[in-house]
Amino acid sequence: MFQSLARLSPDSILGLMAQYRADTAPNKVDLGVGVYRDVAGNTPVLRCVRQAEQAVIYNQNTKSYVAPGGREEFNMRVEELVLGNTPGLTQQRYRTAQTPGGSGALRVGAELIRLSAPTATVYVSNPSWANHPALLGSSGLKLESYPYYDPAAHVLKFIETLEYLDQARVGDVVLLHACCHNPTGADWSLSQWQQVLDLLKHRQLIPFIDLAYQGFGRGLNEDVEGLRLIFAALPEALVAVSFSKNLGLYRERVGALIVQCEDSNRAEAVHSHVLKVARSIYSMPPDHGAAIAALVMGDATLKEDWVVELNSMRTRIEDMRALLTRHLNEATASTKFDFIKSQRGMFSLLGVSSKIVDQLRQRHVYMTADSRMNLAGIMPHNVAYVAESISICDS
């Protein structure tokens, strides 16, 4: 049966993680997989998470099933956090299902789109997260990429984005990154979001928004301004939410899919399909991380502490952006890397060839082949080495 299956090459991001782990050089630097690291190089369990976790364990009196849509209180807190007071709330036009991470939400969302509109094309930004095509395309949907960013010039291709999407057919779907665009770190301004919204409205396109870094860009509310604009104005929209980064719950797989519909009855009907899709793929999402997240979001003291911790993670990355830019400018006697300090979130694209990325790996500096750097891998003790390596390899 399995004779036809040839061995695959490793996933581009996870394969790099394995290569990094196997490297025994003491000066190795991990700018690969998108996990937050503190100045000591650790990916910490947040204080608020530790406290909530103890309470969850203490109060838990059963391990029985929850439901295909997960915990109700978690779903309610996610809606508050992501959508605030958008009109869909009072009109009961959206429903939320807890999912195994943001990836689970993307996959369930893709299945839902395929059920409702099997011939729709899903437009994915070029570039985008390396796993987007697999998560969305494995549902059988047709994917196409739209121009988003010029890695050589380090600028958004905003006019091209609008022109390209203006060719989409009514009912096609556009995958948008809510903030901290992965892999570029280049986000739209609010006025650009408004222009995208006008286009979606005019062409009757459906936004599917990936929200994996809420709080890592400018702040918990600021990072969803564009998303809220869209949800307030359009009858239908989807958002895949992840708590891997902002709560540091990576391995617990905590996420949610919110689907907004034209009215409450439609939202109920659509939700029944979401639950059926979930049931047919994984039956029910894992509970532990969602119980922790619900408690952190629902308890005023824990939430306050979360915001403090989140702000400090964001500030650390911003500081490293500024520090790396300064070292690169000094090492190359130029200002060509200035773009790094003004971008947002974990990633920036260095904008060099895969050959240069390979040369950097020879120097034990690891980034993905498209030259995506995770800025949280930069630390005061390694920044000079990284800047010197980039300057040598790129000369």
Residue 94 or 243 having the CB closest to ligand LMR: 243
Q: Which residue is nearest to ligand LMR (CB)?
A: 34
Residue 125 or 260 having the CB closest to ligand LMR: 125
Residue 70 or 102 having the CB closest to ligand LMR: 102
Write out the residues near ligand LMR by the rule CB under 6 A: 13, 33-34, 129, 131, 182
Task: Work out how close the CB of 243 gets to ligand LMR at its nearest, in angstroms, rounded to a whole number.
Answer: 12
Task: Work out how close the CB of 182 gets to ligand LMR at its nearest, in angstroms, rounded to a whole number.
Answer: 5
Residue 14 or 45 having the CB closest to ligand LMR: 14
Tell me the catalytic residues. Answer: 129, 210, 245
Q: Which are the contacts of 311, defined by CB distance < 8 A and separation ≥ 6?
A: 219
Task: Work out how close the CB of 34 gets to ligand LMR at its nearest, in angstroms, rounded to a whole number.
Answer: 3
Residue 129 or 339 having the CB closest to ligand LMR: 129
Task: Work out how close the CB of 15 gets to ligand LMR at its nearest, in angstroms, rounded to a whole number.
Answer: 11
Which residue has 């390396």 as its token pair? 130
Query: What are residue 99's DSSP bridge partners?
Result: 255
- Rounded to whole angstroms, how far apart are CA atoms 290 and 331? 45
Residue 96 or 374 having the CB closest to ligand LMR: 374
- Rounded to whole angstroms, how far apart are CA atoms 28 and 379? 12
Signed CA dihedral, 77, 83, 84, 90: sign only: negative
Neighbours of 81 (CB within 10 A): 21
How does strand 121-126 pair with strand 347-349?
A: unpaired
Task: Work out how close the CB of 45 gets to ligand LMR at its nearest, in angstroms, rounded to a whole number.
Answer: 18
Task: Work out how close the CB of 330 gets to ligand LMR at its nearest, in angstroms, rounded to a whole number.
Answer: 28
Residue 69 or 217 having the CB closest to ligand LMR: 217
